[in-house]
A and B are shown apart, each in its own frame.
Chain A
Amino acid sequence: LAKTTQPISMDSYEGQEVNITCSHNNIATNDYITWYQQFPSQGPRFIIQGYKTKVTNEVASLFIPADRKSSTLSLPRVSLSDTAVYYCLVVPSGNTGKLIFGQGTTLQVKP
């Protein structure tokens, strides 16, 4: 499984756009990129998944450059409730669900 590297922590203010970048230099051709969010005292929650270019849903956007060696999770206009840990995962196609979570990025949104 490809190793991922992301910042340990980030600070932002309400109303700002937040971009969290994840590095995955050893990503394989059939791997997908997935992001999860975890609030304190809760289990992680799936946010978004992509293979290449850009994916957008009601929560976030995911940007993946052509070489796929990195990806950026973009959260538009964050609020205090977006304070959480964000995990970047690389998942092989056909995976039985064995996810490898790293340390994640702790995002602190300030008023």
Chain B
Amino acid sequence: DAGITQSPRHKVTETGTPVTLRCHQTENHRYMYWYRQDPGHGLRLIHYSYGVKDTDKGEVSDGYSVSRSKTEDFLLTLESATSSQTSVYFCAISESRGHSYEQYFGPGTRLTVT
């Protein structure tokens, strides 16, 4: 399995508090992604990174910010958590190799905003 860890794995927080989720990889892959998964919506891309300090928005970026200061770490921040951000968050990594579009996913973080 690809070396991807996410922390924390579970978190309960209150509305209005800031939350930061961490994704750490040991594969030295260039691309990193944050997705959220909700019942009935499949996975939706929040933000992604194509290099250190290079990030871009995905489908559902409102209310989220990201940072990547090192190749191995990609942080997702909810500046002021809302109940609508209760979800399971997955980090993924990939490396551009010709026409290979394989992404490796982490174990997920279950976030509950009360």
Contact = CB atoms under 8 A, between A and B. Distances in A.
Interface in B64-114: 90, 92, 94, 96, 99-108
A100 B45 contact: yes
Most chain B beta-carbon contacts within 10 A, residue among A45, A97, A99, A101: A97
Interface residues of A, number: 24
A49 to B, nearest CB: 6
Nearest to B6: A43
A97 B31 contact: yes
Nearest to B29: A97
Given A97-B48, A98-B45, A100-B45, A43 B105 contact: yes
A44 to B, nearest CB: 5
Contacts of B96: 96-97
A101 B59 CA distance: 11
A32 B101 contact: yes
Interface residue SS majority, chain B? strand
Interface residues of B, number: 27
Nearest to B1: A45
Interface string B31-52: 1010100001111110010100
B100 A49 contact: yes
Contacts of A49: 99-102
B58 interface: yes
Contacts of A102: 42
Nearest to A102: B42
A85 to B, nearest CB: 8
Contacts of B31: 96-97
Interface in A27-65: 32, 34, 41-46, 49, 51
Interface of A: 32, 34, 41-46, 49, 51, 87, 89, 91, 93, 95-104
Interface of B: 31, 33, 35, 40-45, 48, 50, 58-59, 90, 92, 94, 96, 99-108
Closest 6 CB pairs of A and B: A43-B105, A101-B43, A46-B102, A101-B42, A91-B101, A97-B31
6 contacts: A42-B108, A49-B99, A89-B101, A97-B33, A100-B45, A103-B42
